[in-house]
Structure 1
Amino acid sequence: MHAVLTTYLCYTVVSLGLTAWVARTLFRNGALFLVDVFDGDAEMARAVNRLLVVGFWLINLGYVAFALRIGSDVPDARAAVEALSRKLGGVTLVLGAMHFGNLFVLQRMRRRNRLVHQPVPPVPPAQYGPPSAWAAPGAPGA
């Protein structure tokens, strides 16, 4: 019983530490990216950055709590390390998946924002007509 409680404690402490480190890193390094996504609106970027961190914490804490139970007995140190590695591997995969999911969504927002603000190329006046390569075969100028 003592090994199980020690494994639970190690899992919880390492998971919370890992989540805190990733959340802090994403918050600091994502700020500049979010300013670019929101077209220079720093206030909106800060607000979204804070909301992303809150959501990140909620999802990860929920997963850590959900995955806390160890399905088998932990009779010795080897079993404890194996159980701990499975649990921490799951937390790490969830953290990585969330990170890449956030990047995917934000990159799409950034791309859409750049397309909206992209200058429209000039259109030639109607008197010039289409290039001769577009003209029908046998038409004048073809």
Structure 2
Amino acid sequence: MDLTVVAYVVYLLISIGLTIWVARTLSTNGRIFLADVLRGDEKLADAVNHLLVVGFYLVNFGFVALYLKAADAVEDARGLFEALSVKLGVVLLVLGVLHLGNVFILNKMRRRGIMEKEQIPPVPPQGWATPATPAL
């Protein structure tokens, strides 16, 4: 079997496995963070979490598919490992950048929600008090 084809198969298996593992980990552990960002709305947090996972899969699987083609044919075992290390390294970097981008955006939303919450008075105004007249 051609080593380039072996490189493709190994690359796809590892990349797809990594993408699924990262998506499940982020989905499971990110749910609590999303619920906090969305002010405790569990249903909305679950829906947003699911949409983020679907988007994560689409972007990553699309990138993995586009990045499949090797520039040069793989001639030996050394070339196989070098090609795989470059391809998998780039996939891992893309996964990390997407994760950090999501966390950054969600953290901004969370901070905005906290600031808005702090601006609401704890007790609504009870009415107006008339100013006292100065005593002579």
TM-score by length of 1: 0.83
Distance 1:31 1:118 in 2: 24
Q: 1:96 maps to which residue? A: 96
**Unmatched 5+ residue regions in structure 2?**
123-128, 132-136
Query: Residues 12-67 of structure 1, C-alpha deviation per residue, up to 9 Å, x if partnerless?
Result: 00000000000000000000000000000000000000000000000000000010
CA-CA distance at 1:120 after TM superposition: 5.2
Larger Rg: 1 or 2? 1
Partner of 1:4: 4
2:68, 2:78 → 1: CA distance?
A: 18
> Do residues 26 (structure 1) and 32 (structure 2) align?
no
CA shift at 1:73, angstroms? 1.6
SS of equivalent to 1:117 = helix
Matches within 5 A, 1:1-142: 2-119=2-119
SS of 1:82's equivalent in the other structure is helix
Deviation string, structure 1 residues 73-100 (Cα, Å, up to 9, x no partner): 2110100100000000010000000000
| Larger RCO (alpha carbons 8 Å, 6+ apart) | 2
Instruction: Report sequence identity in percent.
Output: 52
Listed one character per residue, the Cα deviations across residues 75-134 of structure 1 (whole Å, up to 9, x for unaligned) are 101001000000000100000000000000000000001111114579xx9x8xxxxxxx
What TM-score results when the alignment is normalised by the length of structure 2?
0.87
Partner of 1:132: none
